[in-house]
Amino acid sequence: MSDARLVGTWTTELEDDGKSVFGLASFTGDGGVTCYQVNAKNIGLGNWESTGKDSFHYNFHILAVNPQGEHVGEAHVFVTGEFVSDDRWEGTGGANFYSPSGDLLRGHEGSRVTARKFGIDK
C-alpha cells in the first residue's frame, strides 16, 4: 500500500529537547527516502510505507564519520506520521545510535515531528 501524497519533498521540523531541528525529506513513489537534518553532517537514506488511510512510517540511516573520514557509527532514525492535510503531516520520531561494530550506544523516541510539502518555486 502506498500513498501518493507523501511522494515529493518536504520541510521537516523535529522537536529535540525543546529545540527545533529543521530538515528536508524526499519520498519516492517506490518507497525510498532521502533525508537531511541540520544537526547531522551527512544525508540519511531509507524506506517508507503506508500504514493506513492517512498514516505512514519511515526510517533512514545516517553514517557518522570523524574528520579523517573514518566510520565512527550510525544513527537509525524512525518516524510515524499522519496527514492533517494533503500538504502537511504530523508525527513522532526517534533515533538509535550505534557504534561501528553495531552495538547500541543510546536512543530516544517520542520527539514531535511536523512537515510541510513544497513544490517548484515560482
Q: How confident is the model at residue 18, as a pLDDT?
A: 85
| Max Cα distance, the chain (Å) | 47
pLDDT digits (tens, 9 = 90+) for 31-89: 999 999 998 889 999 999 999 999 999 999 999 999 999 999 999 999 999 999 999 99
Give the mean pLDDT of the chain. Answer: 94
Cβ neighbors of 40 (< 8 A, separation 6 or more) are 62, 75
Please give the helix or strand (H or E) that residue 7 lies within, else none: none
The three cell numbers of residue 120 are 517548484
pTM of the model: 0.91
Q: Which three cell numbers stand for residue 70?
A: 573514518
For residue 67, the surrounding DSSP H or E stretch is none
Predicted local distance difference test score (pLDDT) of residue 23: 96
Whether 8 shows a pLDDT value over 90: the answer reads yes
Closest to 28 (Cα-Cα) out of 50, 53, 47? 47
- Ordered by where they begin, the domains of the chain are 6-115 (2.40.128.30)
Confidence of residue 3 (pLDDT cuts 50, 70, 90): confident
pLDDT at 2 over 80: no
The single-letter DSSP state of residue 4 is G
In which band, very low, low, confident or very high, does the pLDDT at 119 lie, cut at 50, 70 and 90?
Answer: confident
Residue-level pLDDT at 121: 79
